[in-house]
Amino acid sequence: MYVISERINGLFTSVGKAIDKRDAKWIQDHAIRQLECGAQALDVNVGPGREDGPAAMDWLVRTVQDVTDATLCLDTPGAKTMTAGLKAARNKVIMNSTTAEKKRLDAFLPLCREFGADIICLTMDEKGIPNDSEKRAELAMIMITTAMEHEIMPDRLLLDPLVLPTRAAQDQGMKVIKAIQMFQSLNDPPIRTVVGLSNVSNGAKDRPLVNRTYLAMLMGAGLSAAILDPEDASLMETVKTGQVLRNEKLYCDDYLRA
């Protein structure tokens, strides 16, 4: 299980303010804490509705890189903001993300190829997010073949079925689990999978409980990576226990502390 921290994201008010003030120390302290909590990569998102998207992304990438060599998951739908992040990055990059929409693939796949990045493929198109697993797998297949036409091999992709809030779309929880299973049969060796975990608990009363329960279910279905909050200690214990149960980590009685 590969852990990507969700918390360098301008969507959070405190992070948005730190970006506005170009408060490097605040951002760096938070990045370091998330890595100390067990994150292996950082999702880097300047937040929605910014006029200075490219400049903010350039600053945010440089600021984070000054304190870590960890992989950066550049999270933006904008080609200009993504390009600014790719140019500033010397750390390994995962582009987050393309969809199956032609104009998005046309803009993002050449960047992915040029900069040698990995890329998250969201299984949605101009019609939105499909409400069944089969259609999600169909969109995944379109992105896999289009990426290959751009000489981007399947091992560079991460497929994301798009997790929805259980409060608003309760029937989607198990469809996403099934999509994760289906994605693994689209290629040999299987293509990696990823989710934005916290989407599931949006608006729920006990968010951490919903997040860690769903993560356990997703790990049972073979999920490879998740964008989540590594500062949630119970969630990270679920990650580690799942790694033991999946035989990814050696069991010992003290595995949580080891």
Strands annotated E in 133-254: 157-160, 192-196, 225-228
- 9 forms part of the interface with ligand THG (CB under 6 A): yes
Q: Which of 1, 6, 105, 223 binds ligand THG (CB under 6 A)?
A: 6
- 12 forms part of the interface with ligand THG (CB under 6 A): yes
3-state helix, strand, coil in the chain (%, to 5): 45, 15, 35
Check residue 125 and report its DSSP letter: B
Residue nearest to ligand THG (CB): 196
Of 184, 202, 201, nearest in space to 193 by CA: 184
Cα 117 to Cα 98: distance, rounded to the nearest angstrom: 12
- 199 forms part of the interface with ligand THG (CB under 6 A): yes
DSSP string for residues in 171-206: THHHHHHHHHHHHTTSSSSPPEEEEEGGGGGTT-SS
The CB density around residue 44, as the number of other CB atoms within 10 Å, is 28
- Interface with ligand THG by CB under 6 A: which range of 26-34, 138-146, 157-165, 242-250? 157-165
Q: Please, which residue, 217 or 244, has the CB nearer to ligand THG?
A: 217
Q: Please, which residue, 92 or 249, has the CB nearer to ligand THG?
A: 92
Q: Which of 109, 120, 157, 219 binds ligand THG (CB under 6 A)?
A: 120
- 227 forms part of the interface with ligand THG (CB under 6 A): yes
DSSP string for residues in 25-55: HHHHHHHHHHHHTT-SEEEEE--SS-TTHHH
- 206 forms part of the interface with ligand THG (CB under 6 A): no
By the 10 Å C-beta count (0-12 exposed, 13-18 middle, 19+ buried), 140 is classed as buried
Q: Is 49 left (phi over 0), alpha (psi -120 to 50) or beta?
A: left
Q: Please, which residue, 189 or 203, has the CB nearer to ligand THG?
A: 203
- 96 forms part of the interface with ligand THG (CB under 6 A): yes
Q: Please, which residue, 12 or 115, has the CB nearer to ligand THG?
A: 12
13-52 mask for ligand THG (x: CB under 6 A)? x-----------------------------x---------
- Chain positions contacting ligand THG, by CB under 6 A: 6, 9, 11-13, 43, 75, 96-97, 120, 160, 162-163, 196, 198-199, 202, 227
